[in-house]
Amino acid sequence: GYFTAVETLAGEIRNLLADAEATRGYFIAECMGRSAGWLAYGAAIAGEASYTISVEDVQAKLSTTEDVKDPKTGVVTTREIMDMNKVVDAIVKAMLVREADGKAFGVVVLAEGLAQYLPASYLEGVKFDDHGHISLASTNLAKTMVKAVEAEYKKRTGQGKRITGVQLGYEARCAQPHAFDVILGCQLGVGAYRAIVENGLDGVMVSCSGQLDLNYVPFEKLVD
């Protein structure tokens, strides 16, 4: 469940913050989230991360485009990508602002979905899944961003900075469920039973609000 993942990742981020403060360094933490930043932002807020960038941020103000030629067909297509200069600039600026406030450490959270917006030059040799999607785990977004941020930080300050990239995924996916998610799961299970057995419904999504206020939404209303 969502809150289980957020609680687990927030704890990891707080641990990283403590380590970052002790070593006067930074962590760039990659969190789950292919197409949206719900988890990255939830974990970052709850874990008091220093800065967060998600897919929505790139789409809104940190993107550019590039032309890509298919080696087999020769067809050229235009794809939206991260403007790496803008993204790295935003992260380094945040670091420098914190340093001016006496905080030469921190944790930057990135949603893993940003990897699919990396320029083609960063994706050489990257695997694709059965659906044609980029295998996000194989891109190692965090380490890619570490190299870029380290270089830009040194360029601006003339000094090196300890920056470590980490991927946070399985820790959240396999955590013991948060009480809220256990209760919600039970309520949805009751809702499924009532939809089929008591109301004779099929092809509906069960949702719950309040204390067992169950609602059934037909799938056809959810499409697109």
Each residue's pLDDT tens digit, 60-94 = 899 999 998 877 788 888 989 999 999 999 999 99
**Rounded (5°) CA angle 85-91-93:** 95
Q: Report whether pLDDT(11) > 80.
A: yes
Each residue's pLDDT tens digit, 179-200 = 999 999 999 999 999 999 999 9
Question: How confident is the prediction for the chain on average, in pLDDT?
Answer: 91
Predicted pLDDT at 50: 97
Query: What's the sign of the alpha-carbon dihedral 38, 114, 32, 187?
Result: positive
Predicted pLDDT at 35: 83
Q: Report whether pLDDT(123) > 90.
A: no
Q: Report whether pLDDT(120) > 90.
A: no
The answer to whether the CB of 127 falls within 8 A of the CB of 138 is yes
d(CA 33, CA 21): 27
The answer to whether the CB of 55 falls within 8 A of the CB of 134 is no
73: phi then psi, degrees, rounded to nearest 5? -100, -20
Give CA 217 to chain center in angstroms. 28
Which residue is it, tokens 């990283």?
Answer: 16
Taking alpha carbons only, the member of 24, 156, 146, 34 closest to residue 93 is 156
Which residue is it, tokens 């190692």?
Answer: 140
